[in-house]
Structure 1
């Protein structure tokens, strides 16, 4: 069940690339992020109001930290998508798996196992084949997306430390609320005004990303990671570009080339290897 939770969350995140691109055609990055997480917070408010979940300072502090890291992920990825293609964004975001191994080495003071390194390299290789059609209009988007990958690795490890003893609903709600609050600060900067969408498709993108890709998906990850561990979660998340590619084919009519199929097989094989391991790597 935890693996299924992560696959569902990854399915939503894979679709989010297309919806984000659609939304950014009408509104700014700051406006999209604020409205997305405002929707996410509002969608979880009834659950918090009618539940017996009690707040405590420790969970609030951890939720704010996770929210800040998530804001870094979303903000940097969205900024990157303004100047680079969704394919390149998917590949660069996948570099988080390299950062995961680096953090693991720093924390545990030991070199990652051969299996970890091999599956990570296979995933990155498969990701490179899957997203081969790189299109760069501004190199700064590359830097933004690499920063997003670093924040993603830090988030996975922070959630790994916090999720075991926290209520998943409460932790997710605090994350959504803190991201909404912090992103609203951006509108205090000169020339950065809140833009309200007028196109139905933009609102559909905001609602989908707010409810499915934020409140539901982060709750699913919180529930799953306490059982799977950081490294297994990071491997499963490699399904995201596969789902992104599938949606692009069916919705945008993009074609898959032979190397893309090879890339998908490499990623799926790596995920299979990790899931049959008897001992999870923490």
Structure 2
């Protein structure tokens, strides 16, 4: 537990930042379309990452570059679906639905990477799934379109989470993050460019502040921390930790007056926290997917 605590703590901090992005993004969509907003967000993040460590990408091996491109595609697709869905539902609800990634991650890990998920992992996923369901019962129901788009984004995030846990190491984590964010920026730019209005530019200070906050703090710093943390955590553990995102999203949305949670909502939040604790502290076996860590091997 001592070896994984820094990675877990870092991922929780990044998750708190991502929880704040739902309300920030929703407010910005009054001025920019989803693809344009994401182009600026990922573009700012990519420039910052490349300026900080410009040689990190060139040092990647050819397989790492291919994998980074795949991660960037999953990242862009996931955020395009999620952000478009956010136009049709509340920020808090979007956070809850995005938490469906925790349900899909072990399935992706088992199907595509033949990863064995042990009893503790599945129990933690089940507990968090129940928590998300209870949380969702504490807020207004989303539209069917917004729900479908957001759940599609969650599936893409599950692919991203699993890919990072399989491919990221302490040596290549930064370079893969920089390249995947760059790929996401380019893909979002292409989608925006072929749209009716093309790539639109923020015209207010608030929109620019939102773009820089999401680009630097949530994207540049957040994804770098995620890649570093996932080099020491399995996909299932990382997914369970990141189910804290809807809790943070709900707390922030409530604090800003968007919506309030009843006792069901807060009960669901406690179940999510319990699932995270079970994933990190539950019983492990040597060959169990919940046990191996990069630093112990």
**TM surpasses 0.5:** yes
Query: Does the CA contact (< 8 Å) of 1:87 and 1:134 recur in 2?
Result: no
Whole-angstrom CA distance in 2 between matches of 1:162 and 1:69: 14
- Which structure has more helix as a fraction of its residues? 1
Whole-angstrom CA distance in 2 between matches of 1:240 and 1:261: 14
Tell me what 2:294 maps to: none
The partner residue of 1:31 within 36, 54, 59 is 36
Task: Give matches, 1:1-282, under 5 Å.
Answer: 1-49=6-54, 54-107=59-112, 112-131=117-136, 132-137=138-143, 139-164=144-169, 166-252=171-257, 254-279=259-284, 281=289
CA shift at 1:12, angstroms? 1.0
Mind listing any 5+ residue stretches in structure 1 that lack a counterpart?
none
CA shift at 1:50, angstroms? 7.5
Mind listing any 5+ residue stretches in structure 2 that lack a counterpart?
1-5, 291-297
CA shift at 1:211, angstroms? 0.9
- Structure 1: 4+ residue segments shifted above 6 A: 50-53, 108-111
Aligned length: 281
CA shift at 1:44, angstroms? 1.7
TM-score under structure 2 length normalisation: 0.87
Q: Cα RMSD (Å) of the superposition?
A: 2.3
Q: Deviations over 1:1-44 (max 9, x none)?
A: 10111011101110010111011011111110101011101212
Query: Does the CA contact (< 8 Å) of 2:139 and 2:261 recur in 1?
Result: no
